[in-house]
Amino acid sequence: FTSKLPTVGTTIFTVMSSLSKQYNALNLSQGFPNFEIDAKLSELVAKAMKEGNNQYAPMPGVPALRKAISEKFQKLYQSTYNPENEIVVTAGATQAIFTVISAFVQQNEEVILFKPAYDCYEPAIELHGGRVVPIQLKHPDYRVDWTEVESKITSKTKMIIINTPQNPCATIFSKEDLLELQRITENTDIIVLSDEVYEHLIFDGQEHQSVCRFPELKKRSFITASFGKTFHATGWKVGYCCGPQELMNEFVKVHQFNVFSVNHPVQLALATYLENEEHYNQLPEFFQQKRDLFLDAISGSRFSFVPSQATYFQVLSYDDISDEYDVEFAKRLTREFGIASIPMSVFNENQLDFKSLRFCFAKKEDTLLQAADILNKI
């Protein structure tokens, strides 16, 4: 047979987490918390199970959760999504992203993608015969030159994918960035896929600029989100997708056949849990403290960095430490020093950024201090 994805290997997250396990290293590679979820949330799941909600959920998600998501958009961004037909609960953001791409991208159509990019977009585009048009952003500020983006738009451009807050760079798009995106897509048929899984993890008093805050942009945009990221439960794989009804109609056509519906008791628990705004409003401070603790603790190390603006990742550069290629360096740190990270080059075109590593700081305080002890010795 001919492989449909001949250049795709095993994702770096699996590679580094396995290596970390093999060498019993501290795992700051794959992005997941090593602390427990809120006990209230697990009690709500247990309750929903005990009450017998263990069969298929409704196809687009339980009504109470869609309503709670809609209310959150209203409260945070004064933006209206109809819970009836503009919000679908998905098996994590990954399935939402794949479904958007699957529903829209056709053979030979182009999708503009900013690099460094999280790794799940590109294979989905290729599987559907689409062509990735990469725009490489550069360390350390990763700013977008929107005239460059405009120059890459052709009659074949079907979609532009953005990810703000951005994994792995830990940067955010400003209001001006979104206005530029709105401007260059106006009067086109381009669809925007806005991956906003880290919407609540944003620091130093900055604001998340969701596409839904820009009315013309909102008309052409899907937003994808992840409860795994928001509520420290990456293993649950529950998220959602929203967009204008006309676009969501197409989304649902695919969703109903690639997953149909997702985890029923977890959806019911999340619906109740979302009623208390504090559960998401406290997240910036919670993660900013972790970022600051980690960065303070490594301030004397030989790594250099620009503090993360958002997400739970921190990029550290090792120009002063080694000339090794980052994939080799990350593996050696895991084997010899007992700390695992993600080499940044895997997210890039042409192995740019090759002397920096991404560390996840969604960890308990003592794990972060242990990690800092190791990094200070490198």
Contacts of 176 (CB under 8 A, 6+ apart): none
Torsion angles phi and psi, residue 332, rounded to 5: -65, -40
State the first-to-last Cα distance of the chain, in angstroms, to the nearest integer: 46
CA distances from 233 to 228, 266, 363 (A): 4, 11, 13
Nearest distance, CB of residue 31 and ligand GLN, angstroms: 3
33 near ligand PMP, judged by CB under 6 A: no
Nearest distance, CB of residue 163 and ligand PMP, angstroms: 5
- 372-376 long-range contacts, Cβ below 8 Å, gap at least 24? 372/294, 372/297, 372/298, 372/301, 374/26, 374/337, 374/338, 374/339, 375/298, 375/301, 375/303, 375/316, 375/339, 376/297, 376/298, 376/300, 376/301
Binder of residue 337, out of ligand PMP, ligand GLN, none (CB less than 5 to 8 A by kind): none
209 near ligand PMP, judged by CB under 6 A: no
31 near ligand GLN, judged by CB under 6 A: yes
Nearest distance, CB of residue 29 and ligand GLN, angstroms: 7
Closest CA to 226 of 201, 253, 254: 201
197 near ligand PMP, judged by CB under 6 A: yes
Contacts of 73 (CB under 8 A, 6+ apart): 79, 80, 81, 212, 242
- The number of residues that bind ligand GLN (CB under 6 A) is 5
Peptide bond into 140 cis (omega under 30): yes
Nearer to ligand PMP, 117 or 297 (CB): 117
Binder of residue 13, out of ligand PMP, ligand GLN, none (CB less than 5 to 8 A by kind): ligand GLN
231 near ligand PMP, judged by CB under 6 A: no
The pair of three-digit structure tokens given for residue 111, joined into one six-digit string = 């999708």
Encoded one letter per residue, x for contact with ligand PMP by CB under 6 A and - for no contact, window 58-97 reads ----------------------------------xxx---
Structure letter (DSSP) for residue 202: B
Nearest position to ligand GLN, beta carbon:
31
CA angle 266, 270, 274 (to 5 degrees): 175
Nearest distance, CB of residue 97 and ligand GLN, angstroms: 11
Nearer to ligand GLN, 149 or 170 (CB): 170
Q: Applying CB under 6 A, which of residues 27, 30, 164, 261 lies at the interface with ligand GLN?
A: 30
239 near ligand GLN, judged by CB under 6 A: no
Binder of residue 218, out of ligand PMP, ligand GLN, none (CB less than 5 to 8 A by kind): none
Nearest distance, CB of residue 247 and ligand GLN, angstroms: 24
70 near ligand GLN, judged by CB under 6 A: no
167 near ligand PMP, judged by CB under 6 A: yes
- Binders in 165-184 for ligand GLN, by CB under 6 A: 167
Nearer to ligand PMP, 90 or 317 (CB): 90
13 near ligand GLN, judged by CB under 6 A: yes
- Alpha-carbon span 312 to 97, nearest angstrom: 20
199 near ligand PMP, judged by CB under 6 A: no
- Which residues make up the interface to ligand GLN (CB under 6 A)? 11, 13, 30-31, 167
